[in-house]
């Protein structure tokens, strides 16, 4: 059966205001009741975010360490190549100096032999 009483404007307005007030109180009560779980969820989200950030920082550190290791290896290889090239150049220079000294020694020996023959020849003539 329908509501038989006479609903006037003020009655309807007060009923609407009461309904709004009841909804607001229910919302506040639900919000207060859910606050501990909300705080727990928020703490959980912050923990997850912190863990995510820690993993990201760990990956960045690992990448930096790997990059430094690769750079160090490249520097070592470059130093080894430079040292090998320097050693090869020094060996060539030493071989060249050795060859030159042998040529000079041979030339000196030939000159000494020539001078000896010349001295012998002069000695026989005199």
pLDDT (tens place) for every residue of the chain, 126 residues total = 455 556 688 888 888 999 999 999 999 988 888 788 888 888 999 999 999 999 999 999 999 999 999 999 999 999 999 999 999 999 999 999 999 999 999 999 999 999 999 999 988 887
Dist CA 27 CA 39 (whole Å): 17
Dist CA 35 CA 108 (whole Å): 107
90 sits in which H/E element: helix 9-125
Residue 1's pLDDT is 43
Signed CA dihedral, 119, 122, 124, 126: sign only: negative
In the chain the first and final C-alpha atoms are separated, in Å, by 169
Question: Which residues, in sequence order, are CB contacts of 97 under 8 Å at separation 6+?
Answer: none
Residue 56's SS3 state is helix
pTM across the whole model: 0.46
Residue 62's pLDDT is 97
């Amino acid at each position: 059966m329908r509501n038989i009483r006479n609903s006037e404007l003020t009655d309807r307005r007060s009923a609407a205001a009461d309904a709004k007030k009841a909804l607001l109180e229910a919302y506040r009560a639900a919000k207060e009741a859910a606050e501990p779980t909300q705080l727990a969820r928020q703490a959980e989200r912050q923990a997850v975010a912190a863990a995510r950030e820690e993993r990201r920082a760990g990956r960045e550190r690992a990448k930096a360490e790997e990059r430094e290791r690769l750079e160090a290896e490249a520097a070592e290889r470059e130093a080894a190549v430079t040292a090998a090239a320097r050693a090869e150049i020094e060996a060539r220079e030493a071989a060249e100096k050795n060859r030159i000294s042998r040529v000079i020694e041979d030339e000196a020996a030939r000159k000494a032999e020539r001078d000896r023959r010349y001295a012998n020849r002069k000695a026989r003539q005199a």
